[in-house]
Amino acid sequence: MNDLEKNVARNRKLDGLFAVVGLLSTFIGLLTLAALIVNLAIDGAARLTPHFFISYPSRFPAQAGILSAWVGTTLVMVVTALTAVPMGIAAGVYLEEYAPKNWLTALIEINIANLAGVPSIVYGLMALGFFVYQLNLGQSVLSAGLTLALLILPIVIVATRESIRAVPGSMREAAYALGATKWQTTRDHVLAYSMGGILTGVIIALSRAIGETAPLVTIGALTFIAFLPDAPVKGEFPFLSFDWLMSPFTVMPIQMFNWVSRPQQEFHLNAAATGLVLMVMTLAMNGIAIYFRYRFRKRIKW
């Protein structure tokens, strides 16, 4: 009993030590993020005026704005999300629920896991040769969105598979026992219970995509653009237009890089303000995904 009590006491100490280390690590991460936000706010808060959001870039720092950058970022992320999220969830569901367990499936799974760690510049080079030159999509919003979609697709697939794998097998067996088909079981039970984890993976993937610069520079994103893509909505029939997909673009990380590379301190303040706006956009995008995740989990509890 003495040895057992000693082992229990030692394990409790190790558990407490691990909890303290984890708490300190979390605190350091949060403190670093807070310091970054405060530093950006101190440098760039004065530039966050309505004129900054509705003006194009300019060679005069006081007149420069991020209109083309934040519009381009929004449109590119719309294409990325509409492409990568449905495709990634569908691929994850197929691999986990429908695909036969053989050497081909194992090879696909290994390659998906490896693709999640490939440097983003490699995706940019591939997109330059395939989307821009082979498919003749040009240096457009569509090319950028598809490039980032390929970049985050493995992340969405892996997150989907892990979330589905966490659903107990007894839930599937109960659905089958009540006469549900394979698709009904997957749609109404497996996906419903795993959607919280899937949306967590989507949040991480989109957060990575919105800050990427290297693949977009590779496919030809502009560093200075003084016009907007065509409007998606028009006043005449059929009211919807897809011409904006083929428009040239820029995004906020590229605009930040352009300003930071300038020697004038005023441009650096513009870059700090742009970084602050980018972080707010990322948090807002994540907040929407977290809200939907909360709704799914709440519905499951009831």
Predicted pLDDT of residue 157: 92
Share of the chain above pLDDT 70, in %: 97
Asked if residue 289 has pLDDT above 70, the reply is yes
Give the tokens for residue 36. Answer: 């970054």
Mean pLDDT of 57-84: 88
Predicted pLDDT of residue 222: 75
pLDDT-derived band at 275, boundaries 50, 70, 90: confident
Question: Which residue has better confidence, 166 or 239?
Answer: 166
Nearest 5 degrees, angle CA 82-CA 84-CA 85?
Answer: 75
The pTM of this model reads 0.84
pLDDT-derived band at 146, boundaries 50, 70, 90: very high
Mean pLDDT of 94-120: 85
Asked if residue 3 has pLDDT above 80, the reply is no
Asked if residue 259 has pLDDT above 90, the reply is no
Q: Is the peptide bond before 238 cis (omega within 30 degrees of 0)?
A: yes
Asked if residue 34 has pLDDT above 90, the reply is no
Asked if residue 159 has pLDDT above 80, the reply is yes
Give the tokens for residue 211. Answer: 């800050």
pLDDT-derived band at 90, boundaries 50, 70, 90: very high
Predicted pLDDT of residue 230: 77
pLDDT-derived band at 301, boundaries 50, 70, 90: low
